[in-house]
Amino acid sequence: MSTQLLLGGSIHTPANPDATAMAVTDGTVVWVGYDDVGRALHPEAEVIDLEGRFVGPGFVDPHVHLTATGLARSGLDLSTARNRPELLDRLRVHVAGLPVDEPVWARGWDESTWSAGQADDLRLPSVAEIDAAVGGRPAYLVRVDEHSALASTALRDGVVGLGESVGFSASGPLTAAAHHSVRVAARALLTGDQRADARRRALREIAALGVVAVHENGGPDIAGSTDFAEVLAADTGTGVEIVGLWGEAVADVEHARNLLATTGAYGLSGDLFVDGALGSRTAWLSQPYADDPCTTGMPYLDVDAVYAHLRALTQLHRQAGFHVIGDAAMTAVTTALARLADEVGTPTLAACAHRVEHAEMVDAQQRAVLARCGVIASMQPAFDAQWGGPGQMYEQRLGEARASAMNDFAAMAKAGVALAFSSDSPVTPISPWAAVGAAVGHHRRTSAVSARAAYGACTRGGWRAVGRNDGLTGLLVPGAPASYAVFDADNLVVAGSDSTVQRWSTDPRSRVPALPDVSPGAPIPVCVRTVHRGAVLHDSGALRATAGVA
């Protein structure tokens, strides 16, 4: 047996908020406590000097798109373009530096943030303007929410029947089925090596953030079965654990069984679209959009289809789940859940750990159904940080009243809905500490949760979202897998029950382990080592080791 003894740090463990040391033997935590006791109990262990650093459970991101995340690092970033002329200028500059035959891959434009002196600068560029900027190349410019895209003529011409697809526009952005088709065409222009390089790049960066596991959200309308199979089979050398979720609806048990077998997915969950996204005005609403009263969005699945999918997966004791953003979409899901609960009982449903992704517009009655059925909500705190403030995208699309109730983490937690916080990368960057800070610093204080709850949703919550709720995984306690991350983090504060950034609890009687300060303006903790089940995934070289202390 091989034992390592980590000494002189701040160990985030529920049993002892003052712990400074941890012993790991063959990939398992065997002891947590104080330095002097650790030295006495493990005299032959290799000693790792933490030098006061913070050690916590490794982060889990339960909603990512790995290939797209890697591609976003190498493609053109349009997230800071402030208007149409600036977007087109950046496009022209980017294309000038590309090989002649290379397609254009760009992402991140968000017209809800645009400003300009002339009203015409605020409109989206036409297909003709994009063609002129890219010089006849295939070009795919996906919106920040990944639910609509601008596409050049050369790319559009490669999609058979595009003009008859739902969501088609001859000169503007493509949504719904039209967007899904053009995304498939854009992906087909990538080589296997390009996809593999993108994944490796993404996973290396993920490991360097203290993340030990991710849930890949794939589906036929996202990146397709080939990419999903490549992701699950990827040997990137990073050691980050990948759990696959496949978003495709089934009508019966046999269909579900076959899909699970052919995809290798943990569940038929994740990005199974019940609707789209608010930014693209495809989220399914019960009332029209405030800035477009002619539409209520885009329903992809009705109540009966949601019910059939849930019923089939429940019969197999496997996870079902859905992408749900609009309130009408959530009504469809909770109506189907309640119907199935009346038939099979809530314990049967809860045992499957069904889940909903995003869950941005949820009322009290819907929260009660989710909690009663044991549904896990995979939510994205960064969405509120990016789009939730006064005058921001949510308020533009929904008006002040509806926007004020968006992403109510506190209400979900109080109702008993288990939370798992994620990024939906590349929609927002993978940054777990930023997610903790955004959940604690929700722009509407009554919707925020405590730092302890937010941290748990970014660690243990991710494991619970794929059925691992054994009381060990995602914690640093004896018997747990040695999956942890070490951070340089000044200004440790005690994460008490108060839900606001402004009033951190520092009362030692709270008996809560300290966490790094994630309040606005505080520096993001820097990861110096990531370990998963005893294997080192990332090491900055900052930690010192000695052979033993006997």
Q: Which two tokens stand for residue 21?
A: 């040391």
Average pLDDT of 355-366?
98
Task: Give yes or no: residues 26 and 107 share one domain.
Answer: no
The answer to whether the beta carbons of residues 429 and 69 sit under 8 Å apart is no
Confidence of residue 519 (pLDDT cuts 50, 70, 90): confident
461 within domain boundaries = no
pTM over 0.85? The answer is yes
Q: Is it the case that residue 496 has pLDDT exceeding 80?
A: no
**CA–CA dist 129, 496 (Å, integer):** 54
345 within domain boundaries = no
pLDDT digits (tens, 9 = 90+) for 62-92: 999 999 999 998 889 999 999 999 999 999 9
488 DSSP β-pair partners = 526
Per-residue model confidence (pLDDT) at position 15: 83
84 within domain boundaries = yes
Number of neighbouring beta carbons within 10 Å of residue 305: 18
Task: Give yes or no: residues 183 and 81 share one domain.
Answer: yes
Per-residue model confidence (pLDDT) at position 73: 86
- Alpha-helical segments (H) within 119-233: 127-134, 153-156, 176-188, 192-207, 224-233
**CA–CA dist 385, 436 (Å, integer):** 11
Per-residue model confidence (pLDDT) at position 489: 80
Q: Is it the case that residue 248 has pLDDT exceeding 70?
A: yes
Number of neighbouring beta carbons within 10 Å of residue 255: 16
- Of residues 489 and 512, the one with the higher pLDDT is 489
Kind of pairing between the strands at 355-358 and 241-246? unpaired
Q: Give me the domain span that covers residue 94.
A: 66-188
Cis peptide before 426 (omega within 30 of 0): yes
201 within domain boundaries = no
Among 127, 157, 188, residue at a domain's last position: 188
Sign of the alpha-carbon dihedral angle for 7, 10, 11, 16 = positive
**CA–CA dist 66, 43 (Å, integer):** 42
> Of 517, 450, 456, 459, which is closest to residue 484 (Cα–Cα)?
459
The answer to whether the beta carbons of residues 527 and 240 sit under 8 Å apart is no
The distance from CA 492 to its chain's CA centroid, rounded to whole angstroms, is 26
Per-residue model confidence (pLDDT) at position 497: 38
**CA–CA dist 104, 98 (Å, integer):** 8
Among 188, 211, 240, residue at a domain's last position: 188
Task: Give yes or no: residues 40 and 137 share one domain.
Answer: no
Confidence of residue 498 (pLDDT cuts 50, 70, 90): very low
Task: Give yes or no: residues 150 and 181 share one domain.
Answer: yes
Q: Is it the case that residue 4 has pLDDT exceeding 50?
A: yes
Task: Give yes or no: residues 118 and 169 share one domain.
Answer: yes
Per-residue model confidence (pLDDT) at position 1: 76
Q: Which two tokens stand for residue 400?
A: 């002040």
Task: Give yes or no: residues 122 and 146 share one domain.
Answer: yes
Q: Is it the case that residue 185 has pLDDT exceeding 50?
A: yes
pLDDT digits (tens, 9 = 90+) for 386-438: 999 999 999 999 999 999 999 999 999 999 999 999 999 999 999 999 999 99
Per-residue model confidence (pLDDT) at position 411: 98
Q: Is it the case that residue 324 has pLDDT exceeding 70?
A: yes
Task: Give yes or no: residues 38 and 72 share one domain.
Answer: no
Confidence of residue 50 (pLDDT cuts 50, 70, 90): very high
Q: Which two tokens stand for residue 385?
A: 């940080």
Confidence of residue 47 (pLDDT cuts 50, 70, 90): very high
Confidence of residue 100 (pLDDT cuts 50, 70, 90): confident
**CA–CA dist 186, 180 (Å, integer):** 10
Average pLDDT of 308-336?
98
Average pLDDT of 94-108?
91
Report the chain's terminal Cα–Cα distance, integer Å.
Answer: 17
539 DSSP β-pair partners = 529
468 within domain boundaries = no
- CA angle at residue 51 from 47 to 54, to 5 degrees? 100
Per-residue model confidence (pLDDT) at position 511: 61
**SS3 state at 29:** strand
Per-residue model confidence (pLDDT) at position 493: 64
Residue whose token pair is 């999903």: 228
DSSP secondary structure code for residue 512 in this structure: -
Per-residue model confidence (pLDDT) at position 494: 55
Phi, psi of 103 (to 5 degrees): -70, 165
The answer to whether the beta carbons of residues 449 and 91 sit under 8 Å apart is no
**CA–CA dist 256, 217 (Å, integer):** 17
319 within domain boundaries = no
Confidence of residue 491 (pLDDT cuts 50, 70, 90): low
Q: How far is CA 49 from CA 20, 502, 547, in A?
A: 11, 33, 11
Q: What kind and span of H or E run contains 94?
A: helix 84-96
- Of residues 111 and 520, the one with the higher pLDDT is 111
Task: Give yes or no: residues 37 and 139 share one domain.
Answer: no
CATH of the domain at 533: 2.30.40.10
Q: Is it the case that residue 55 has pLDDT exceeding 80?
A: yes
pLDDT digits (tens, 9 = 90+) for 13-45: 998 889 999 999 999 999 999 999 999 999 999
Task: Give yes or no: residues 18 and 130 share one domain.
Answer: no
Sign of the alpha-carbon dihedral angle for 179, 181, 182, 184 = positive
Q: Is it the case that residue 508 has pLDDT exceeding 50?
A: no
**SS3 state at 264:** coil
Task: Give yes or no: residues 482 and 538 share one domain.
Answer: yes
Mean pLDDT of the chain: 93
**CA–CA dist 15, 74 (Å, integer):** 44
Per the structure, how many domains does the chain have? 2
pLDDT digits (tens, 9 = 90+) for 223-239: 999 999 999 998 777 89
Task: Give yes or no: residues 40 and 140 share one domain.
Answer: no
CATH of the domain at 125: 3.10.310.70
Among 171, 188, 205, residue at a domain's last position: 188
The answer to whether the beta carbons of residues 297 and 282 sit under 8 Å apart is yes
103 within domain boundaries = yes
Task: Give yes or no: residues 71 and 105 share one domain.
Answer: yes
516 within domain boundaries = no
- CA angle at residue 283 from 280 to 287, to 5 degrees? 115
